[in-house]
Amino acid sequence: MLELLFDGGFLEALDGKIFSSPLDTPLRSVTMNEEISVHLKEAPKVPSCPIRVLWVGAGGLGCTTALVMAKSAHLLPFSIEGLVVDDDVVSAENLHRQWLYQEEDIGQSKAPLFAKRVEEIAASKGMRWKIRWLQARVLPENALSLIESCDLVIEGADNFATKFLVADAARLAKKPVVHAGVVRWFGYALASGPEGKPCLRCLFEDIPRGRPDTCAISGVVGPLVALVGALQTKLAIELAMGIGGSTYIHLDALRGGSIRRRPLRLREDCPGCAPNPKITSIREELYLPPCEDWSG
Ligand SMILES: [Zn+2]
């Protein structure tokens, strides 16, 4: 499964299409141009400059999206200048879903390792990507400036406050963003684009009250991170090429692994997207923990 996802075949896997027929011959890697042509019957727009990608979080989802994109670097019709923002260190219990790190990395900061590994993988495919890193958290004081300087945000944070902060900042900066999250057996990927709306609040409205259901508290099924991360990658590539719409994908591994995809609708009373939005700036109080037992 992972070989299929990470060897250029992930596009076929996600769409239920295998472009080479005999099972005893290797899968043929398709270029993104071919993939788009198959589905849209038209040539995709090819960005002339590198896409500036901001990865919020270098955990399981960040690792998966970056790894899939870097492994497919020679198939994509654009190159990437990235920035990864994360303040965490590599820990042993997360190695099974954070594919860019090894045993010898335990205790080291994720962000510089992430940048180095992604550049190396892209280079192995003949592509020169520049990935910068920032060992920090995305916070109300830096979110807008970070997002304003990129073309696309890939959000894989492990807490609700950061997810809503990134969603609000992307909408205010009019930047496309792809969110994703995995908790236990469930996962989702949500694309807001190209101007950051409809947004995360159109669907989830606000940070949940009470004890939050996050992977840190409730746990996560490791292989599901790879699948949700691949779905997130597909949405990100579509947005980068200007062909992606606002989309919500929900995956329930307990119900036969069903994957449901539907357009994300703008909610008329969304505090961010309404004609007269309540949220017109980034204010710290919007992202404070809603109760004492909230720990992100
Ligand atoms: Zn909204």
Q: Is the distance from CB of 211 to CB of 294 less than 8 angstroms?
A: yes
Average pLDDT over residues 123-140: 97
Select the more confidently predicted residue: 208 or 53.
53
Output the CA 88–ligand 1 centroid distance in Å.
29
Output the CA 198–ligand 1 centroid distance in Å.
5
Output the CA 237–ligand 1 centroid distance in Å.
22
> Domain spanning 50-287 has what CATH number?
3.40.50.720
Output the CA 190–ligand 1 centroid distance in Å.
12
Q: Which of 5-14, 98-107, 190-199 has the lowest mean pLDDT?
A: 5-14
Output the CA 13–ligand 1 centroid distance in Å.
31
Output the CA 276–ligand 1 centroid distance in Å.
12
Tokens (6 digits) for 59: 């955990």
Q: What pLDDT shows up at residue 206?
A: 84
The helix or strand, by DSSP H or E, that contains position 205, with its residue range, turns out to be none
Output the CA 133–ligand 1 centroid distance in Å.
29
Sign of CA dihedral 133, 139, 144, 147: positive
| DSSP reduced 3-state for 274 | coil
For residue 34, pLDDT beyond 60: no
Select the more confidently predicted residue: 250 or 217.
250
Output the CA 246–ligand 1 centroid distance in Å.
11
- Integer angstrom CA distances of residue 228 from 30, 137, 201, 252: 21, 23, 20, 10
Output the CA 201–ligand 1 centroid distance in Å.
5
Output the CA 79–ligand 1 centroid distance in Å.
30
Tokens (6 digits) for 142: 């830096």
Output the CA 292–ligand 1 centroid distance in Å.
27
- Integer angstrom CA distances of residue 134 from 45, 110, 112, 233: 31, 10, 8, 21
Output the CA 218–ligand 1 centroid distance in Å.
27
Beta bridge partners of 56: 85, 155
Output the CA 192–ligand 1 centroid distance in Å.
9
Q: What whole-number distance in Å separates Cα of residue 213 and Cα of residue 211?
A: 7
| DSSP reduced 3-state for 211 | coil
Q: What's the chain's length in residues?
A: 296
179 alpha carbon, distance to own chain's centre = 5
190 alpha carbon, distance to own chain's centre = 9
Q: 């594919």: which residue's tokens?
A: 99
Mean pLDDT of all residues in the chain? 83
Select the more confidently predicted residue: 67 or 185.
67
**Strand pairing category for 152-155 and 186-192:** unpaired
Output the CA 40–ligand 1 centroid distance in Å.
28
pLDDT single digits (tens) 259-290: 899 999 999 999 999 999 999 999 999 998 65
For residue 60, pLDDT beyond 90: yes
Q: What pLDDT shows up at residue 174?
A: 96
Residue spans of the domains in the chain: they are 50-287
